[in-house]
Structure 1
């Protein structure tokens, strides 16, 4: 009886984490914090033709069959090989770089999610390794061991490195990083339908940040 109750509580806990990732219901506000433009068309994450494999019922069934995730792994320092030749300011002065790429409320990001041309929907095979610079909640990952300069990211992103392995077939949008933030780009990126940490919780990714290559 106790085991069944524990199992049920675990499934309910996962459901709540999936529905309320900030830990509580959003606080009501009288006006929007930020107005976003309307999307141009059907290339949003949920428009992926295979997005249905991430269905909540399938994920909860996966958990009820015995899957348990470990706590989120702390970010690691960037491997030196990935920052080889990286010039944080892209040949400009820090002031000149900020004038081009930093606004009043944050970075000035490139259009089209920073990709060259439209993203392509693909499925990543089990065993594929991916990595990412940034926190665990983001949706943009890259081919494993892509140079930092080829990802066209702001210089402060180099402080937090994470690595993942695909453990269930994963729908993503594939694109190539455009030149931006003073970096050449050219690296292959994958935009996921859900955030990286959520995909770990649902059993589609394994966080292997601490594992030796």
Structure 2
């Protein structure tokens, strides 16, 4: 590849995106692509420290706008120190969550407003958006049931939110899908694992062909 490819993966809690992307990463590496696997919030030291504040703090009553600003700060640090250098070197970047998560979780579900959160993140990302976003679509009921069964999952603040909150998250993602159909592709994540994996891989392969 002459240029890098920025792919983000999105979805509500329990969507199964991490497991699917594990296999996609392995497949791409076997095909001799250079792949950077990373996540948000996190990916670099400072952003990982912010991640701990956001997701693993015992303080549940964080101000909503403080939360949105912390996500944007972590995103900026991660973008300039890890994502952009990898793209410049021609890598495929697989990023677990990016700007869409903030628009949905803080903007829509928290009620700050998607436009307000978009403005914060415009400053943070300076126009750098994913080339492709895979949205793993799963109902809140199915997703949360999966989370409860996962014995090795590290529970965080978002896992402890109400079903009503997660229904808002689902609605927020659906609104984004409607407005960003060229970039965001929907993966039906309640189907068997192999079907989900093959659908996601096929979309990624088509995108790679478009830039090679």
The TM-score normalised by the length of structure 2 is 0.22
Q: Report 1 or 2 for greater relative contact order, CA contacts < 8 Å, sequence distance ≥ 6.
A: 2
Structure (1 or 2) with the greater helix fraction: 2
